Structure 1
Amino acid sequence: MLVNSAYKFIGNRLSPAGTRARLSILIYHRVLAETDPIFPNEVTAQQFDAQMARLKLVFNVLPLHEAVTRLNAGTLPARSVCITFDDGYADNLTLATPILKKHGLHATFFIATAYLNGGRMFNDTVIEAIRHSSSDGIDLSALGLGRHDVDNPQAKRDAINKILPKVKYLPLDQREDKVAELARMVSDIPLANDLMMTTEQLKALHAAGMGIGGHTSRHPILATLDDSALHQEIAEGKEFLETTLGEKIALFAYPNGKPDTDYLPWQVSIVRELGFDAAVSTQRGVSTQTSDLFQLPRFTPWHLNPSRYVPALLDNLRRCA
Structure 2
Amino acid sequence: MIFTPLLNLGIKVLNLFAGTKSFSVLNYHRVMPNADLSSEQALTPELFEQQLVWLKRHFKVLPLPEAFALAQAKQLPRNAVVITIDDGFYDCFAYVYPLLKKHQLTATFFISTAGLEQGYLWENQISYAICHAPQDLMRLQLQQNTFLIGTTVQRRASIAAITELTKYQTLQQRQLMINDILAQCHCPAHLHQFLTREQVNIMHQNGMTIGAHTVHHPILALETLATAQQEISDSKLLLEQITHSPIEFFAYPNGKYQQDFTDDHVAIVRDLGFKAAFSTEWGVAQPEIDCVYKLKRFTPWDRSPGKFCLRLAINALAERYHFKFFKSRVRQHVS
Q: Is this a same-fold pair by TM over 0.5?
A: yes
Matched with 1:6 is: 10
CA shift digits 1:39-64 (9 cap, x unpaired): 44310111111111111100101111
Corresponding residue pairs, total: 315
Question: Does the alignment pair 1:266 with 2:270?
Answer: no
State the alpha-carbon separation in 2 of the partners of residues 192 and 101 from structure 1: 31
State the alpha-carbon separation in 1 of the partners of residues 150 and 209 from structure 2: 39
What is the letter of the counterpart of residue 195 of structure 1?
Answer: Q
What is the letter of the counterpart of residue 298 of structure 2?
Answer: F
Deviation at 1:150, TM superposition (A): 4.3
Deviation at 1:136, TM superposition (A): 6.7
What is the letter of the counterpart of residue 266 of structure 1?
Answer: D
RMSD: 2.0
Equivalent pairs: percent with the same residue? 36
State the alpha-carbon separation in 1 of the partners of residues 188 and 149 from structure 2: 22
What is the letter of the counterpart of residue 182 of structure 2?
Answer: A
CA shift digits 1:118-154 (9 cap, x unpaired): 43211111122222334376433254342224402x3
Of 278, 283, 286, the residue aligned with 1:285 is: 283
What is the letter of the counterpart of residue 102 of structure 2?
Answer: K
SS at match of 1:133: coil
State the alpha-carbon separation in 1 of the partners of residues 14 and 233 from structure 2: 42
What is the letter of the counterpart of residue 258 of structure 1?
Answer: K
State the alpha-carbon separation in 2 of the partners of residues 175 and 6 from structure 1: 48
Alignment map for 1:191-270 (pairs within 5 Å): 191=189, 193-270=191-268
CA shift digits 1:244-283 (9 cap, x unpaired): 1111100000011110010012220110000000000000
Deviation at 1:189, TM superposition (A): 4.7
What is the letter of the counterpart of residue 261 of structure 2?
Answer: Y
Contact kept? 1:38, 1:156, Cα under 8 Å: no
Contact kept? 2:27, 2:86, Cα under 8 Å: yes
Contact kept? 1:29, 1:86, Cα under 8 Å: yes
The range that moved more, 85-94 or 192-201, is 192-201
Change (3 A) 1:275 1:263: same
Deviation at 1:191, TM superposition (A): 3.8
Contact kept? 2:251, 2:279, Cα under 8 Å: yes
Contact kept? 2:285, 2:295, Cα under 8 Å: yes
Unaligned runs of 5+ in 1: none
CA shift digits 1:139-190 (9 cap, x unpaired): 33254342224402x332221222122111211122122113212312x455
Change (3 A) 1:146 1:306: farther
The range that moved more, 134-143 or 311-320, is 134-143
Matched with 2:319 is: 320
Alignment map for 1:102-121 (pairs within 5 Å): 102-121=102-121
Deviation at 1:22, TM superposition (A): 2.9
Contact kept? 2:110, 2:213, Cα under 8 Å: yes
Contact kept? 1:47, 1:306, Cα under 8 Å: no
State the alpha-carbon separation in 2 of the partners of residues 304 and 144 from structure 1: 40
SS at match of 1:219: coil
Deviation at 1:294, TM superposition (A): 0.6
Unaligned runs of 5+ in 2: 321-335
Alignment map for 1:171-210 (pairs within 5 Å): 171-186=170-185, 188-189=186-187, 191=189, 193-210=191-208
State the alpha-carbon separation in 1 of the partners of residues 124 and 314 from structure 2: 31
CA shift digits 1:83-129 (9 cap, x unpaired): 00111111101110111111111100011111114432111111222
Change (3 A) 1:72 1:198: same
Alignment map for 1:294-313 (pairs within 5 Å): 294-313=293-312
What is the letter of the counterpart of residue 102 of structure 1?
Answer: K
Matched with 2:328 is: none
Contact kept? 1:4, 1:57, Cα under 8 Å: no
CA shift digits 1:184-213 (9 cap, x unpaired): 312x45545221111111111112210000
Give the TM-score normalised by the residue count of structure 2: 0.87
